[in-house]
Amino acid sequence: MKNLNFFEDLINPIKEKNFFDEYYDKKFLHVKAGKSDKFLDIFDWSSFTKILNMTSIWTSSSLQLVLDKNKITPEDYCYPSVDRDGNEIFQPQPNKIVEFLNKGATLIANEVDTLDTNISSIARILEDKFSSKTQCNIYFSKQGRQGFDVHFDVHEVFAINLIGEKVWNIYEGRLDNPINSVAYIELDKEYAKENCGKILKKVHMKPGDILYIPRGQFHEALASSDRSMHLSFSVTHLIGHDILSILFNEAMTKSFFRSNTPMEFQGKNKTQMWLNEFNNNLSEIIKSESFNNKINHQISNYKLTRGNYNFPNDITLNTNQKFSFKNNVILKNVGNKIILEVNKKGIKIPDMYIHTVKELISVNEFTIEEAQKKSNNLDLDTVTQLVEDLSNMSLIIKK
């Protein structure tokens, strides 16, 4: 993925500071591409085909079709089947999907952010910058027909237009911090039509353009050219309500929150005094350094687990990699033998390695090459094997 490593690369030429000062959680932003091939090396027809050909992962809920604003029912494009976990599902049939695409339907492939390396990288860039959970859906249509009604989303959206042109209507109306709960999810089309207000802007998206839509802002996408495809990244933050859940669990550890409330006969004043004490105890938790650390930990880890494998490097030791013995590993003389001891468990060291292990446990860190130099003429392969064995037994850690 060329030249796309940071959030600022995504919104180029807009500067990051400008984005957060002027647009983030405030108003939509249309970033026009300097060049139409800005994202072409990221996701093209072959990437799309490759993902769709992973037929065993798709079900009627992860691969959907919408025709003239209506969802196609699973029975019309899927066969009953069994998924990889043995659950009964509706499995989309490629020939049926193509048939519906030819009729003008829009195909939506949900949660594709782990299925393609480049999409995964963009999702990670957004997750890191926004401390958020980020997912990606693909929208594809063959003919210029409207797929969806005006609606709002409960997350922010970054839409990357890859192929074809599309007009997006951004409406004036915006809901106040909608979240993924029944109260918002159940708001229907009629509600949207009544509350979306006037069209604020008709955004003409061309290949390589990006559109940022704040949470709750009403919008609709109209396919305006044949063969159009865009990636839609959803950005979901931790919210105050999530912090309440953490506070709820934290409060359980404090005696006051396990204490009885006053009884009715003790009167309202007693209740008020108890509530004041409740407030003080709650404030004490909230103001504590440990709670602050806990929340910061949650914020920095509010990400989805995404594949990070890199074989065969993952199972190959790099000669420049630094290692050190874990603090709880000690060298011990037992009788006339020298062993490694960890958590009161002894581990026998083959004689040929004793000298090297003695040397390495006394230094802060070492590479395989340094370990070889400290050994008594062991060759590099033998020392590599020793380091691998120590690593597999969790006696040493990578620095």
Is 175 or 387 the residue whose CB approaches Fe ion more closely?
175
Count of chain residues binding Fe ion (CB under 5 A): 1
Is 191 or 257 the residue whose CB approaches Fe ion more closely?
191
Give the number of other Cβ atoms within 10 Å of residue 368's Cβ: 19
For 167, residues 6+ apart whose C-beta sits below 8 A from its C-beta are 202, 203, 204, 205, 221, 222, 224
Compute the least distance from the CB of residue 214 to Fe ion, in Å: 11
Using CB positions, name the residue nearest to Fe ion: 153
Is 147 or 396 the residue whose CB approaches Fe ion more closely?
147
Compute the least distance from the CB of residue 153 to Fe ion, in Å: 4
Compute the least distance from the CB of residue 213 to Fe ion, in Å: 7
For 291, residues 6+ apart whose C-beta sits below 8 A from its C-beta are 247, 250, 285
Is 157 or 340 the residue whose CB approaches Fe ion more closely?
157
Stretch that binds Fe ion, among 149-157, 178-186, 360-368, 374-382 (CB under 5 A): 149-157
Compute the least distance from the CB of residue 148 to Fe ion, in Å: 7
CA distance 138 to 151: 18
Give the number of other Cβ atoms within 10 Å of residue 278's Cβ: 16
Is 188 or 314 the residue whose CB approaches Fe ion more closely?
188
Compute the least distance from the CB of residue 79 to Fe ion, in Å: 30
Is 116 or 153 the residue whose CB approaches Fe ion more closely?
153
Give the number of other Cβ atoms within 10 Å of residue 16's Cβ: 16
Stretch that binds Fe ion, among 46-54, 106-114, 126-134, 150-158 (CB under 5 A): 150-158
Is 211 or 396 the residue whose CB approaches Fe ion more closely?
211
Compute the least distance from the CB of residue 140 to Fe ion, in Å: 15
Residue 381 φ/ψ region, left for φ over 0, alpha for ψ in the -120 to 50 degree band, beta for the rest: alpha
Compute the least distance from the CB of residue 159 to Fe ion, in Å: 8
> Helices marked H in the chain — which ranges?
7-11, 16-18, 45-52, 94-103, 117-130, 182-185, 189-195, 240-251, 267-287, 289-300, 351-361, 368-374, 380-392
Q: What is the DSSP code string of 17-50?
A: HHIIIIITTT--EEE--SSTTTTTTTS-HHHHHH
Stated as kind and residue range, the H or E segment containing 63 is strand 63-67
CA distance 6 to 142: 32
Query: Which one, of 33, 14, 10, lies nearest residue 22 by Cα?
Result: 14
Compute the least distance from the CB of residue 99 to Fe ion, in Å: 26
Stretch that binds Fe ion, among 16-24, 114-122, 151-159, 295-303 (CB under 5 A): 151-159
Tell me the two tokens of residue 5. Answer: 């490593």
CB 197 within 8 A of CB 24: no
Compute the least distance from the CB of residue 63 to Fe ion, in Å: 18
Question: CA-CA distances (angstroms) from residue 173 to 115, 192, 199, 215?
Answer: 34, 9, 9, 11
Among 113, 153, 209, 220, binds Fe ion (CB under 5 A): 153
Binding of Fe ion by 156 (CB under 5 A): no
The per-type count for the chain, helices as H runs and strands as E runs, is: 13, 18
Is 130 or 323 the residue whose CB approaches Fe ion more closely?
130
Site string for Fe ion, 109-148 (x = CB under 5 A): ----------------------------------------
Is 127 or 153 the residue whose CB approaches Fe ion more closely?
153
Compute the least distance from the CB of residue 39 to Fe ion, in Å: 19
3-state secondary structure of 176: coil
CB 170 within 8 A of CB 232: no
Is 153 or 209 the residue whose CB approaches Fe ion more closely?
153
Residues in contact with Fe ion by the rule CB under 5 A: 153
